[in-house]
Amino acid sequence: MCGIVGYTGNREAFPILIKGLHRMEYRGYDSAGVALLQGDEVTVHKCRGKVSDLEDFCKGKDLSGHLGIAHTRWATHGEPNDINAHPHFTSDHKIALIHNGIIENHLVLRKALEKAGYLFNSQTDTEVLIHLIEDIKKNECLDLAEAVRLALSQIIGTYAVIVISVDNPNTLIVARKGSPLIIGFGKDEYFAASDAAALVEYTRKVVYLNNEEMAVLTPGNDLIVKTIKNEIVPHSIQKLRMNINELEKGGFEHFMLKEIFEQPRTIRESMRGRLSVEREVVSLGGIVEYEERLLQARRFIIVACGTSYHAGLVAEHLFEDLIRIPVEVEYASEFRYRNPVIYDDDVVIAISQSGETADTLAAIELARQKGATILGICNVVGSSIARATHAGSYTHAGPEVGVASTKAFTSQVTVLILMALCLAKRKGKIAKNKYIRLIEELETIPDKVQKLLDNASAIEKIAQYIKDFNNVLYLGRNYNFPVALEGALKLKEISYIHAEGYPAAEMKHGPIALIDENMPVIVIATNNATYEKVVSNIHEVKTRKGKIISIVSEGNSEVRNLSDYVIEIPQTHEMFTPILASVPLQLLAYYVAVLRGKNVDQPRNLAKSVTVE
Ligand code: F6R
């Protein structure tokens, strides 16, 4: 969603700000803008469209300045257009602001400000904030930072903001609540952004602001972090570990394809230092301190959204099979608004690639209030969810830039497998020989994924067949049901073909009515306890003239003979099929989207990091 970036220092701000916006394009947005301090005015350029449209719009203009802010907007209040784009500014062009988040009480504030004579140009909730700051500053004769602080204390909702003003020509004022904000240190310069990707080129020294904290960034002055209640709080400087190459396409046509092909490496990264076949151990350093509590848990409740929710569904099978502790998996957005029964001996596991998903953060907060222990499984280091949990494990998949999640999913499943094996062993629920067999097999998974990728061209042919259908049904059972859901999500989000995932046996309770010669059905029929049942489901589809595309274990001939197209995956234990079976489905969605001419990395309406509920 919205990306924000700010710069103050000796360099020209514009190129830094534009590069920062490009680095955050993957988050999803519909308009972009920049504000630069130039003499006794803040100059604002903004327009609907891509960052490249903003660059075209700015061509030939004076873009000099050493203090500036820039924004990519994902519309919530007010349609995507030039006026609603950020930055917003005071009518005298003395103060400008960018904002990520939602101001829930904007209508009340707007009414009061209109009554006081302020004119509004846009339909956004954000414009309220700039006039409120202006009003407080003027009426109470305060400096800008104090006016920002008092204005923010009146806001109900979420924000990450950066404010600049002609009265403070070297200063960025930054604050956050709910939406992320990172401060970067350079030599006599400060950077601020919602995403480390916008900073990593210039600095690795950063401070992550916590909720309801703000700072005044003036080169030459030390960083002081305050709360919105005006109390000075300590901060810790951290080192960014991100690699710039990970933010480039590296010769691939799209980030999504690059990320699919990275999976043998990223799955290995998720296991690195945690799995040792020689020593016959699986251990997760991030949860060691809480292991006792996990082993005593009454129940695991997994909260997540989208693809991460599907990883949670895989974990439900894994944990119940291996640890024998009951598991519930919930959409974070539903969980937070129910009145769920949560005990203090429950363990809540939040799964999130970005670590910023608003609903997942809110679910964590609810569980925390009820006394549960909270674990996080996140990809983005230092993210809000990673910091809001008691303990957890990073997936170490590296930055995921394509909006459709691929390598993050297989890494989440890998970490969940490790967690299940580690706890099962500690709880004495797994026989030694089974444990050893499983960890030996797990170690072979990256090579098996590589084997699948080496055969990617076969999937392209199936994509040619799928691309003109309007609907596709995905079926799977047991460990493969979440794979069916994930395969359908991948196809619909980037190709815009309607797709549904279903438990194979449920088909006859409704979806079977849809089956005819125009309905391709993708069935995951790998070797497992329900294989024979799934074969029966395939017969049910065939009888009704549905087209079968099957995913089978290597060497299978029975399902091959029933299928119009077949994808073979290497033999593995059924617990690991979600990793192997999801890879061809990612490739299938990718190739179909490319053949349909869609924007694979930035599908319409979608955002990578969903920071609004
Ligand atoms: C789908 C996808 C989304 C995310 C969801 C949760 O490809 O990317 O469904 O999985 O928005 O995001 P995180 O994992 O960042 O909490």
Query: What does pLDDT average to in each consecutive run of 10 residues of the chain (613 residues)?
Result: 93 97 88 96 95 96 97 90 94 94 94 95 94 94 95 95 96 94 96 94 95 97 96 94 84 96 97 95 94 95 98 98 97 94 96 95 95 96 92 96 96 98 96 97 98 96 96 97 98 97 94 93 95 95 95 96 97 97 98 97 84 77
Q: SS3 for 196? A: helix
Q: What is the 3-state secondary structure (H, E, C) of 416-481?
A: HHHHHHHHHHHCCCCCHHHHHHHHHHHHHHHHHHHHHHHCHHHHHHHHHHHCCCCEEEEEECHHHH
pLDDT of residue 89: 95
211, 229 in Cβ contact below 8 A? no
444-482 burial: b if 16+ Cβ within 10 Å, else e: ebbebbbbbbeebeebeebbeebbeeeebbbbbbbbbbb
Count the residues in the chain. Answer: 613
pLDDT of residue 414: 98
Question: Could you give the residue ranges of the DSSP H alpha helices within 303-355?
Answer: 306-322, 332-335
Residue 306, ligand 1, Cβ within 6 A: yes
- Give, in degrees to the nearest 5, the angle at Cα 423 between 293 and 367: 40
Exposed e or buried b for every residue in 405-417, given b needs 16+ CB within 10 A? Answer: bbbbbbbbbbbbb
**What pLDDT is stored for residue 607 in this prediction?**
80
Compute how many other C-beta atoms are within 10 angstroms of the C-beta atom of residue 199: 26
- CB contact set of 265 (below 8 Å; sequence gap of 6+): 446
8 Å CB contact between 269 and 397: yes
> Is the shortest distance between the CB of 493 and ligand 1 below 6 Å?
yes
- Ligand 1 atom with the smallest distance to the CA of 609 is 15
Separation of alpha carbons 269 and 215, rounded Å: 35
Rg of the chain, C-alpha, whole Å? 26
Q: Which amino acid is at 10?
A: N
pLDDT for 130: 96
Rounded to whole angstroms, how far apart are CA atoms 235 and 352? 25
Backbone angles phi, psi at 413, to 5 degrees: -65, -40
Catalytic status, residue 448: no
Question: 282 has which bridge partners?
Answer: 275
Looking at the CA of residue 408, tell me the nearest atom of ligand 1: 14
Helix (H, G, I), strand (E, B) or coil at 100: strand
Predicted pLDDT of residue 84: 93
Ligand 1 centroid to Cα of residue 293, in Å, is 28
Residue 466 has φ and ψ, to the nearest 5°, of -75, -30
3-class secondary-structure state, position 248: coil
**438 pocket-lining for ligand 1 (C-beta < 6 Å):** no
Residues near 257 by Cβ (< 8 Å), separated by ≥ 6? 590, 600
CA distance 367 to 390: 11
Superfamily of domain covering 3-246:
Aminohydrolase, N-terminal nucleophile (Ntn) domain (3.60.20.10)
* Long-range contacts of 19-22, Cβ-Cβ distance < 8 Å, separation of 24 or more: 19/198, 19/201, 20/70, 20/191, 20/193, 20/198, 20/199, 21/51, 21/54, 21/70, 21/71, 21/72, 21/198, 22/51
**pLDDT given for residue 242 in this prediction:** 82
**Using a 6 Å cutoff on CB, does residue 612 contact ligand 1?**
no
| Same topology between domain 3-246 and domain 455-602 | no
As a whole number of angstroms, the distance between CA 611 and CA 177 comes to 11
Q: Identify any residues that bridge with 351 across adjacent strands, giving them in sequence order.
A: 377
Is 111 among the catalytic positions?
A: no
Decide: 548 and 542 in contact? Cβ < 8 Å.
yes
Q: What is the pLDDT of residue 465?
A: 96
Instruction: Count the helix, strand and coil residues of the chain and give each as a percent rounded to the nearest 5.
Output: 40, 25, 35
Per-residue pLDDT, 402 = 93
Q: Which of 353, 600, 613 to mutate to test the pocket of ligand 1 (most atoms within 8 A of CB)?
A: 353
How buried is residue 62: exposed, middle or buried, by Cβ count under 10 Å (0-12/13-18/19+)?
exposed
In CATH, 455-602 is 3.40.50.10490: yes
- From the list 2, 58, 305, 378, the catalytic residue is 2
What are 397's strand-pairing partners?
Answer: none
* Residue 380 in contact with ligand 1 by CB distance below 6 A: no
**Domains in the chain: boundaries:** 3-246, 248-453, 455-602
Beta strands, E only, 140-237: 159-165, 168-177, 182-186, 189-193, 205-208, 213-217, 225-227, 232-233
Q: Which of 308, 604, 612 to mutate to test the pocket of ligand 1 (most atoms within 8 A of CB)?
A: 308
Query: Is residue 158 within 6 Å of ligand 1 at its C-beta?
Result: no
Q: Which helix (H) or strand (E) holds 588?
A: helix 577-595
CA 305 to ligand 1 centroid distance, Å: 6
Is 193 strand, coil or helix? strand
Say what the pLDDT of residue 346 is: 96
CATH class label, 248-453:
alpha beta
pTM beyond 0.85, yes or no: yes
Q: Rounded to an integer, what distance in angstroms lies between the CA atom of residue 35 and that of residue 70?
A: 6
